[in-house]
């Protein structure tokens, strides 16, 4: 099109140039039609660039960033969105008291408790109950069915009168969430008194029972060692140590039981029976907190690392001993096939080591212990089975098969180590209560960790403007936030099982949103790289276009001026 | 001067003893060589030497991520097949028989490296290829290859910029993926690589200043190429001769003081400012804080009786076991009673292993393929329409 008009113009131009050569060296005026054509051409090119080229460029080079509720996420991370509280329901069963007496006792005890409590987020709520036996199983049922409308019962306190007592005493049921308190009938508070030795005693007992839990939760919520003023330094250190050695939370843990021996025997063990007998009940009880898978292996001819300290024979103990400081090198990490790559949960290793007959029995030098915990990794148990002499001349040998009975102590120890590694608190001395406590502790720490992940993601979004944020991240974030608030509400209403379940979902979703794998698209381009990419591409096209546009604008402006001058 | 230094050191030690040092609970090492091909033998030897050292000091293979872009041991030009040496005396075969390479060959890319650091990996990626560090982990990152001003070349095809590395560490810090991090790099103009770091608790050290080359140490005439780089050689010399066991008390200050420019032939650099307490505090970190695996093993006293001790727990677990056995019996009795109503999910004491759902073939294609086709067709259609309209209008106007 343009070339055609150009061809038509050129003869005219050259002829007129010849005529006016002497007068003026300027070209002849263009015909209006030619001007219009050129205007159209330039406009068409620019229209294509503006309405097609520019949007395509914009669309293809822009990074998709789903909008995230940044404010809300930061609020969660700063702890503004939710203040976790832990109201524990404690049922008071008073089978042999008048109801008004019981009411009064409840009031005074509650009053004393509130006075004693200095950590407002964790408080005990007393309630009267009539049932004496039904409540006993309540605690563990809550463990199994976390989603319940009513608040969980943390503990049932049964008050039993006993004649011939000078002062009340208590007994904690080790297998149930029940505390029996025996009191002399004379100590039942009379309605006129505002305080009584019995209510003081109950309050002190409860306070002591939940002391460690309270300190732990305070520690987690404040995020440092200085949790509560009243916490003894000893307890604070214990809590700190426990939190340090316990495994990072995971949805699924792989338990790996391994039998290592330097010789050829024992080559088999009753592992299935042992796991079923000793580990399964514990895993069942821990099922609200995490999922578990179990793997086992037998490794023969497993040697120590060449650099590891060798066991030494101790005459006085009549045993081979390992020094405590050498224990960290006991596991031959380079050669023993541990840490199998299964799934994506962490592995907790339990190693049963049967020493060579020539080095049996093997114990730890300092305290004759036969087991130890490697923080955040697993546990080791040294099993010294009775040696058998097959013949007169031959050296004693290990049994070729380890029976269920001989595995008993080892697997009990492993269960204990598992509890320790999962961060179960050491008091009170009742496993159901400790498991309940660990549900609350896990709920608190998951709530915090998911919240802080939200904060990290929010900060990341702001600080890296070139990182893409796919829609799935936005979905995960909203799921996380809704589960976080659900968890917070559950906590406030005392449904800890449900709170943990929500917090678990929140944690999983938060991790998923942060570790979304398409969020790596950002690769930094320095500005000079951009120039280097765009200049060769756009230079040759851009220059004629821009120059053409400028010329056209100049012409239009000149004509306007001319028109203005003429009129 | 020396006396003053001694005094300072003693003072610093006192400080250390008084302040409670925040402990780390695990150690991780990421060792990366970024160059291929036989003449870059020394880069792989660098990394393998360091691998050997951290393994000797106790970091298990599961906590070492080793990235090797080429396999020198099996290179046809290797006169000693199956081995890699970092010294002409060929005393130590670095390849040995127990080496776990996590990323090899063309898996060593910038993308994979950044994904590794930020853990933005597919769910199917095995744990051996993941950096599983957490808020209590000390991480050692060692990189070597060919680099330049603020970049390090990966595999002759791409490069990682100092900005990307800084952002990756920034994200690690955001997600609490390290407690303290030691970054070491041996490449030309290495010190430019850590200039953009901004996240705290990082100590960074490199082999050469901007516009300086990093040189190889010596060549093995039988292997035919240089076998190790200078800076790495002297770092290793320090680690191998001075840090002989996990209990070594030598600190980072000692390591960095051992740099000798007349031997290294370039100016090594150290960056302290990101570390809380700066150089003074950073120098006190022991070498094995990063190169070794520190474990505080807890021996259980079988005779203690305080709450939470082994004995107490054993008794409780025994009770739990007993209870579950009773429940099991009740359950089987109940089953015998009412065999019809088995569908109710009652808890048997056997382990609840998740039944694996059967995996069948699934369609891998994206669901929106039709949408994409539609978009394509409409774009082509629009372009055609514009062209037709354009030519039609053009004809009419002429």
**Contact A174/B at CB under 8 A:** yes
> Which 86-105 residues of chain B touch chain A by CB within 8 A?
98
Provide the number of CB pairs (under 8 Å) joining chain A to chain B: 205
Delimit the domains of chain B by residue range: 29-291
Q: Sorting pLDDT into bands at 50, 70 and 90, what band is A46?
A: very high
Asked if B295's CB is within 8 angstroms of A456's CB, the reply is: no
Asked if A463's CB is within 8 angstroms of B297's CB, the reply is: no
pLDDT in tens, A48-65: 999 999 999 888 888 888
Q: What is the average pLDDT across A125-131?
A: 71
Asked if A281's CB is within 8 angstroms of B295's CB, the reply is: no
N-to-C CA span, chain B: 93
Residue of A nearest to B354 (CA): A293
For CA atoms A489, A492, A493, A495, give the dihedral sign: positive
CB neighbour burial string for B202-214, b if at least 16 within 10 angstroms, e if fewer: bbbbbbbeeebeb
E strands within A286-356?
Answer: 291-299, 312-314, 319-322, 347-353
- Please tell me the predicted confidence (pLDDT) of residue A249: 80
**Contact B240/A at CB under 8 A:** no
Residue of B nearest to A338 (CA): B62
> CATH code for A86-131+150-241?
3.40.390
Residues of chain B with pLDDT under 70: 1-22, 295, 301-313, 324-325, 327-329, 331-368, 396-398
Provide, as residue numbers in chain A, all residues whose Cβ is less than 8 Å from the Cβ of B319.
174-175, 431
B347 among known catalytic residues: no
Residue of B nearest to A37 (CA): B397
pLDDT in tens, A163-203: 777 777 777 776 677 788 887 777 776 666 666 777 788 88
| Closest-CA distance of chain B to residue A523, Å | 6
Provide, as residue numbers in chain A, all residues whose Cβ is less than 8 Å from the Cβ of B59.
333
Q: How many CB atoms lie within 10 A of CB A272?
A: 12
Asked if B350's CB is within 8 angstroms of A419's CB, the reply is: no
B188 among known catalytic residues: yes
Asked if A522's CB is within 8 angstroms of B349's CB, the reply is: no
Nearest CB among B118, B351, B352 relative to A520 is that of B118
Is A249-387+398-422 assigned to CATH 3.40.390?
yes
Q: How many CB atoms lie within 10 A of CB A175?
A: 15
- Please tell me the predicted confidence (pLDDT) of residue B360: 59
Q: Which residue stretches of A20-154 are H helix?
A: 32-48, 54-61, 70-78, 99-116, 138-144
> Which 256-285 residues of chain A touch chain B by CB within 8 A?
275-285
> CATH code for B29-291?
3.40.50.1460
Active-site residue, from B24, B146, B217, B383: B146
Q: Which residue stretches of chain B are H helix?
A: 2-18, 41-56, 110-118, 162-174, 230-241, 252-257, 261-264, 278-282, 288-291, 310-337, 369-397
**What is the ipTM, given to two decimal places?**
0.74
pLDDT in tens, A322-350: 887 777 778 776 678 776 656 667 888 89
């Amino acid at each position: 099109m343009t070339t055609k008009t150009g061809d038509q113009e050129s003869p005219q131009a050259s002829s007129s140039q010849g005529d006016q050569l002497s007068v003026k060296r300027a070209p002849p005026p263009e015909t209006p039609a030619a001007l219009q054509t050129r205007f159209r051409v330039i406009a068409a090119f620019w229209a294509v660039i503006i309405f097609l080229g520019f949007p395509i460029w914009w669309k293809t080079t822009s990074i998709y960033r789903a909008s995230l509720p940044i404010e809300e996420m930061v609020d969660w991370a700063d702890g503004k969105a939710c203040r976790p509280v832990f109201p524990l329901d404690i049922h008071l069963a008073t089978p042999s008291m008048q109801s008004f007496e019981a009411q009064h006792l409840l009031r005074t005890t509650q009053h004393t408790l509130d006075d004693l409590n200095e950590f407002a987020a964790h408080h005990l709520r007393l309630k009267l109950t009539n049932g004496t036996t039904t409540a006993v199983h309540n605690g563990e049922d809550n463990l199994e069915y976390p989603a319940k409308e009513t608040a969980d019962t943390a503990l049932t306190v049964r008050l039993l009168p006993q004649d011939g007592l000078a002062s009340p005493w208590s007994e904690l049921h080790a297998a149930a969430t029940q505390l029996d308190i025996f009191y002399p009938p004379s100590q039942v508070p009379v309605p006129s008194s505002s305080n009584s030795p019995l209510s003081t005693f109950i309050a002190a007992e409860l306070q002591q029972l939940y002391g460690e839990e309270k300190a732990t939760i305070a520690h987690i919520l404040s995020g440092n060692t200085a949790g509560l003023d009243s916490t003894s330094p000893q307890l604070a250190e214990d809590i700190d140590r426990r939190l340090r050695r316990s495994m990072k939370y995971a949805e699924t843990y792989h338990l790996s039981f391994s039998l290592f021996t330097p010789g050829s025997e024992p080559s088999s063990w009753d592992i299935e029976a042992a796991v079923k007998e000793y580990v399964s009940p514990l895993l069942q009880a821990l099922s609200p907190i995490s999922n578990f898978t179990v793997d086992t292996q037998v490794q023969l001819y497993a040697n120590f690392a060449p650099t590891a300290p060798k066991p030494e024979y101790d005459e006085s103990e009549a045993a081979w001993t390992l020094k405590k400081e050498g224990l960290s090198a006991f596991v031959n990490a380079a050669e023993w096939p541990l840490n199998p790559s299964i799934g994506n949960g962490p592995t907790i290793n339990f190693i049963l080591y049967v020493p060579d007959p020539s080095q049996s029995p093997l114990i730890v030098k300092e305290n004759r212990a036969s087991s130890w915990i490697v923080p955040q990794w697993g546990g080791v148990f040294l099993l010294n089975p009775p040696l058998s002499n097959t013949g007169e001349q031959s050296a004693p040998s290990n049994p070729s098969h380890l029976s269920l009975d001989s595995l008993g102590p080892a697997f009990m120890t492993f269960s204990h180590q598992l509890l320790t590694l999962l961060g179960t608190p050491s008091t009170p001395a009742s496993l159901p209560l400790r498991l309940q406590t660990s549900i609350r502790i896990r709920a608190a720490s998951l709530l915090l960790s998911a919240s802080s992940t939200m904060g990290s993601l929010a900060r990341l979004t702001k600080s890296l403007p070139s990182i893409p944020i796919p829609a799935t991240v936005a979905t995960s974030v909203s799921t996380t936030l809704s589960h976080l608030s659900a968890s917070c509400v559950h906590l406030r209403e005392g449904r800890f099982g449900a709170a943990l379940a929500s917090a678990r979902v929140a944690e999983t979703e938060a991790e998923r949103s942060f570790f979304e794998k398409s969020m790596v698209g950002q690769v930094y381009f320095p500005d000079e790289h951009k120039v280097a990419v765009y200049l060769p591409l756009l230079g040759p096209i851009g220059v004629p276009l821009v120059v053409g546009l400028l010329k056209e604008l100049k012409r239009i402006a000149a004509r306007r001026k001319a028109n203005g001058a003429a009129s | 001067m020396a006396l003053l230094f001694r005094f300072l050191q003693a003072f610093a030690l006192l400080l250390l003893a008084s302040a409670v040092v925040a402990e780390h609970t695990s150690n991780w090492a990421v060792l990366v060589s970024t160059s291929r091909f036989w003449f870059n033998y020394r880069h792989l030897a660098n990394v393998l030497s360091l691998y050997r050292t951290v393994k000797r000091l106790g970091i298990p293979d599961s906590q070492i991520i080793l990235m090797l872009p080429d396999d020198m041991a099996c290179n046809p030009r290797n006169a000693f097949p199956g081995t890699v040496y970092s010294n002409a005396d060929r005393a130590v075969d670095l390849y040995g028989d127990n080496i776990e390479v996590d990323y090899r060959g063309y898996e060593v890319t910038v993308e994979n490296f950044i994904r590794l650091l930020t853990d933005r990996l597919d769910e199917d990626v095995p744990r051996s290829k993941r950096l599983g560090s957490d808020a209590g982990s000390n991480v050692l990152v060692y990189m070597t290859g060919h680099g330049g001003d603020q970049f390090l070349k990966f595999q002759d095809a791409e490069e990682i910029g100092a900005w990307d590395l800084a952002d990756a560490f920034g994200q690690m810090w955001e997600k609490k993926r390290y407690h303290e991090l030691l970054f070491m790099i041996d490449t030309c103009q290495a010190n430019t690589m850590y200039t953009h770091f901004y996240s705290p608790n990082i100590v960074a050290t490199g082999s050469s200043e901007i516009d300086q080359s990093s040189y190889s140490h010596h060549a093995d005439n039988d292997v035919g190429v240089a076998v190790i780089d200078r800076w790495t050689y002297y770092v290793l010399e320090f680690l191998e001769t001075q840090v002989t066991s996990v209990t070594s008390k030598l600190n980072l200050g000692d390591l960095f003081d051992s740099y000798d420019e007349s031997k290294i032939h370039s100016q090594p650099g150290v960056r302290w400012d990101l570390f809380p307490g700066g150089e003074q505090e950073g120098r006190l970190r022991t070498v094995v804080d990063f190169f070794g695996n520190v474990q505080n093993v807890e021996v259980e006293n079988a005779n203690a009786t305080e709450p939470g001790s082994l004995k107490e727990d054993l008794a409780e677990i025994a009770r739990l076991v007993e209870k579950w056995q009773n429940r099991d019996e009740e359950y089987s009795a109940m089953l015998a009673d009412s065999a019809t109503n088995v569908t109710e999910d009652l808890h048997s004491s056997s382990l609840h292993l998740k039944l694996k759902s059967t995996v069948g073939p699934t369609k891998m294609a994206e669901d929106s393929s039709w949408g994409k086709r539609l978009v394509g067709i409409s774009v082509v259609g629009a372009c055609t329409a514009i062209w037709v309209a354009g030519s039609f209008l053009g004809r009419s106007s002429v």
